Amino acid sequence: MDSISLFTILLAFAFPFAAMALEKHPKASSFFSAVVICYAIGIILGNIIPAYINTKLAEQLAGVSMLIALPLLLFSSRLKENWRLGGPGLFSYGLCIVAGLIATALTAWYFQDSQPEGWKAAGMLAGLYTGGTPNMLAIGIAVEAPSDFIVLLQSADIVGGGVYLLLLMTVIHPLLGRFLPSFKKADVEQLEEAEAVGKPAGVVPLLISVGIGASAAGLTYLFTGSLANSTLLILLLTTFSLGFSLMPKVSSMSNAYVQGEYFLLVFCVSIGLMANFRTMLSEGLPLLAFLLIAKFSLILLHWLFARFFKIDRDTVIISSVAALYGPVFIAQITSSIKNKRLLAPGIALSLLGLAIGNYLGIMVAYMAKWLFW
């Protein structure tokens, strides 16, 4: 193995540890998550020292890391428990998903002439607005979006998502109180925290994940004669992973999600190494406009639905965070709105979104392509 390939591998697999440590530092801003840090270092090094980066290898590392990460993240989805959540939380979350599907479809229609690959963006955003970043990245692979396109859309979400997160922690809670009812404790069913509570299982989750990835790749090759059909590969991977998550011994492995997050960060570094500054500068603003219109249309639609169905403001906020950001920011937002009672339901809803986001996103992408492109 040559030195350039070795440096690329070391960077992709070693930097996520530093990013996770930086994220946990008490002085670090919550905006700069490990995902943001890994994307940033990948993009910077990939453009400053491109001669020292094996971009072909980085592309292969991105694909393999996502195949491993996705099952690990889905093992803790606990579908049976999440479907039994009941109450306004699940209903509000469902309304948020409906709002997201409508918003992304309308945005795709609006941009159909100016964005040749807008259908891919619509599908990726539909997944992002259901379960968070992992869904968006997986759908990007499924619809064969170029690496620059994935990075651009992720960068646009960092801008738009950062603005909305700041508003959530400052003015939105009192603003929603003007036209939505206040939270009542009786509205929330007492639930155990939805995070896995079993004993650490060492490398067992990783081995199962590798086996699932190999099985999905093997069946894709068997059905199509190649591994080029990324859509089938991601759908098989998601379905197999959810099947394993129904097994109590698998869903209770407490370190599976952490391992999944690590490989997701490997993906972020690898995909960042392939990004091109020139492409980002020339195409970034149109994608930012696409994302901002979709995101804030979703938010307004969700609020209107909540007003019509008289859902309380705290539940609306937490279900929105569960859909748009995943489990990462649930604790932060429950703390800012001073309602810890919604911590466990919020985490449960976000894991549910992670489970169904790939299906919805791929569906939206190909429906948009069929209707508008």
Question: What is the tens place of the pLDDT at every residue in 24-57?
Answer: 777 665 556 787 788 888 888 988 998 899 988 9
Closest CA to 316 of 153, 151, 181: 181
Number of domains comprising the chain: 1
pLDDT given for residue 97 in this prediction? 94
pLDDT band at residue 200 under the 50/70/90 scheme: low
Residue with tokens 């960042």: 272
Residue-wise pLDDT for 202-227, tens only, equals 889 999 999 999 999 999 999 988 88
Q: What are phi and psi of 32, to 5 degrees?
A: -90, 80
pLDDT band at residue 360 under the 50/70/90 scheme: very high
Token reading at 265:
């960060």
Token reading at 343:
């911590």
Highest mean pLDDT among 230-239, 317-326, 359-368 belongs to: 359-368
Mean of pLDDT over the chain? 84
- The three-state secondary structure class of 184 is coil
Task: Tell me which residue range forms the domain holding 74.
Answer: 3-372
Token reading at 75:
């093992």
Q: How far apart are the first and last CA of the chain?
A: 44
Q: What is the pTM of this model?
A: 0.77
Which of the 8 DSSP states describes residue 181?
Answer: P
- The three-state secondary structure class of 100 is helix
